[in-house]
Structure 1
Amino acid sequence: MTELSGKRAIVSGASLGIGRGIAVELARAGATVAVNYRSNPDQADEVVAECKSVGGDAFKVQADVSVQEEAEAMMRTSIETLGGLDIVVSNAAYSDRHLMLESDMLEFRKTIDVSMWGAFYVVRSGAAEMVKAGKGGNIVVISSPHAHLAMPGAMAYNMAKAANDQMARTAACELAQHRIRCNIIHPGWINTPGERKFFSEETLKTESAKLPMKRLGEPKEIGRGVVFLCREESEYITGSTLTIDGGIQLPWRDMFRVEETAATAKPMQDNE
């Protein structure tokens, strides 16, 4: 694919998981990608190599996006290397799971700092550079169904993702005059290393088989969504949410109602 040939992109939190899938799919579509990582340069090197192997180009850039100065420096450094900026993907996130009354407040604040403030710093600094350049651009915020589903044990993450959605929609409104589009993606249950923090392999295998599509999603599927939103053919899409969740938010658990009715109901007669 060359849908994004010549485009210059930065993806935060791109050294593994969903961020890695996004970086690789952007590169596959022809973009040059700045691969942000926080603490594992070897993983970032692997992503850079994979981006190059699919026909794109990439380089790594270190920053902890929860620190405003680092996020802004990362943006400046990336743009110097890229020679401009067309696409910003805010993906970096952190989550720790505890019931509200049992929360470790350091972990709670870290979730907010990375997943909310980090997203804001990336979006704000990227938008500022795009406005300065005056050539428009695309911003994609990787949010979550947690933005509107009150998942127990994930209050900080729920809060952060709800803020992400409002941030992105407000940015879309404010930046439209500069021909900068801002959209949201809600991934479902995705096959990433981060899920292994909360679930065993056996749980992932057995529970994913119960989902509507009978499997976890893959990071590359989120990446393809980003490519779709950033291509020229999608230029009338802004302030929108693209859900890529395999139907996990559908009322699929209620299918028993249809199945049971079909199994027990007698056929209706024409004159009934």
Structure 2
Amino acid sequence: MTEATGRVALVTGASSGIGAATARLLAARGMRVAVDYLHNGTAAEEVVAGIEAAGGHAMAVRADVRDPAAVENMVERVQAAWAGIGVLVNNTPTPYAIKSFRDMTWEELGRKLDDEMRAAFTVTKAVLPAMTEQRWGRIIYLGNGLSRRPRAGMIALGTAKAALAQFARYLAQELGPQGITVNVVEPGPVEDTRMTHVPDEEHRRRHTAATPLGRLAHPDDVAHAVAFYAGEDSAFMTGTTAAVNGGMAMY
């Protein structure tokens, strides 16, 4: 038994990669975990089955986290099954263009900004009433090191994640008096995710060579940082960012 036992966590984008690793780790630490997905219900159910086989509690829930009605329905399902959500891990990846600013249209840049912020805004709004009532909450947003360190072709993702990081700081200031912490986990390149193919093999070699710990992150590395923010050990930390990049960038 730990202090996390009985807490309800919602992990968005949890059918694979970082989200799946996070769902499994939070469940292993005693939380009941809602595994959100949009397209791959089979993979989400596999995550749930793995958690339950290990003695944990989980349920798969489908929602487009940019859609307020779908999110409200998802949150109502979780609350009906368990209780109010106390931990939100906002991890849902949304598509983005990989190209230079010269070649990019406003629609491409604006779509990524809108998708990123709409998802964070919508899901946070939905879980906030229960957190406020409990006077306890943990909100963790998945950022990206590109919000601080630009890389060619990644202006859409980097700009959107920079907006998300500042959004988190404003929420941390506003929600602190209600016992709710808001933090960001900011990975560098991560192996074994849907975006693993984005850096080609040459970029991957360069990234690895530039990392003092000698490898790229795995989803479990990121999940452990998220789990730290989701528990009591981080109770007096809010508005902070954890860089999970093996020392590739030091802030």
Instruction: Say yes or no: TM over 0.5.
Output: yes
The one-letter amino acid of 1:117's match is: R
Q: CA deviation at 1:203?
A: 4.0
- Summarize the Cα distance change of 1:203–1:42 in structure 2 as closer, same or farther, 3 Å threshold: farther
Q: CA deviation at 1:179?
A: 0.7
Partner of 1:96: 97
Q: CA deviation at 1:110?
A: 4.0
Q: Which runs of 5+ in 1 are unaligned?
A: 252-272
Partner of 1:254: none
| SS class of match (1:102) | coil
| SS class of match (1:10) | strand
Q: Quick one: distance in 1 between partners of 2:203 and 2:16?
A: 18
Q: Quick one: distance in 2 between partners of 1:148 and 1:199?
A: 18
Q: Quick one: distance in 2 between partners of 1:155 and 1:209?
A: 22
- Summarize the Cα distance change of 1:2–1:50 in structure 2 as closer, same or farther, 3 Å threshold: farther
Q: Quick one: distance in 2 between partners of 1:9 and 1:236?
A: 20
- Summarize the Cα distance change of 1:204–1:23 in structure 2 as closer, same or farther, 3 Å threshold: farther
Q: How many residues align?
A: 249
Partner of 1:154: 154
Task: Map 1:124-139 to 2 at 5 A.
Answer: 124-131=125-132, 133-139=133-139
- Summarize the Cα distance change of 1:22–1:173 in structure 2 as closer, same or farther, 3 Å threshold: same
Q: Is the contact between residue 208 and residue 214 of structure 1 (CA under 8 Å) also seen in structure 2?
A: no
Partner of 1:206: 205
Q: Quick one: distance in 2 between partners of 1:71 and 1:148?
A: 30
1:185 maps to 2:185: yes
The one-letter amino acid of 1:100's match is: F
| SS class of match (2:102) | helix
Partner of 1:51: 51
Q: Is the contact between residue 88 and residue 138 of structure 1 (CA under 8 Å) also seen in structure 2?
A: yes
- Summarize the Cα distance change of 1:145–1:118 in structure 2 as closer, same or farther, 3 Å threshold: same
Q: Quick one: distance in 2 between partners of 1:242 and 1:205?
A: 22
- Summarize the Cα distance change of 1:80–1:203 in structure 2 as closer, same or farther, 3 Å threshold: farther
Task: Map 1:211-230 to 2 at 5 A.
Answer: 211-230=211-230
Q: CA deviation at 1:166?
A: 1.1
Q: Quick one: distance in 2 between partners of 1:6 and 1:24?
A: 15
- Summarize the Cα distance change of 1:128–1:147 in structure 2 as closer, same or farther, 3 Å threshold: farther
Q: Quick one: distance in 1 between partners of 2:54 and 2:247?
A: 29
Partner of 1:114: 115
- Summarize the Cα distance change of 1:59–1:106 in structure 2 as closer, same or farther, 3 Å threshold: farther
- Is the radius of gyration larger for structure 1 or structure 2? 1
| SS class of match (1:215) | coil
Q: Is the contact between residue 4 and residue 231 of structure 2 (CA under 8 Å) also seen in structure 1?
A: yes
- Residue identity over aligned pairs, in percent, reads 31
Identify which range, 85-94 or 145-154, moves more after superposition: 145-154
Identify which range, 59-68 or 96-105, moves more after superposition: 96-105
1:73 maps to 2:80: no
Partner of 1:196: 196
Q: How high is the TM-score relative to the length of structure 2?
A: 0.90
The one-letter amino acid of 1:69's match is: A
CA offsets per residue over residues 161-196 of structure 1, 9 Å max, x none?
Answer: 111111111111111111111111111211133233
Q: How high is the TM-score relative to the length of structure 1?
A: 0.83
Q: CA deviation at 1:208?
A: 4.8
| SS class of match (1:152) | coil
CA offsets per residue over residues 237-261 of structure 1, 9 Å max, x none?
Answer: 111111111111149xxxxxxxxxx
Task: Map 1:11-30 to 2 at 5 A.
Answer: 11-30=11-30
**Structure holding more helix per residue:** 1
Identify which range, 228-237 or 33-42, moves more after superposition: 228-237
| SS class of match (1:34) | strand
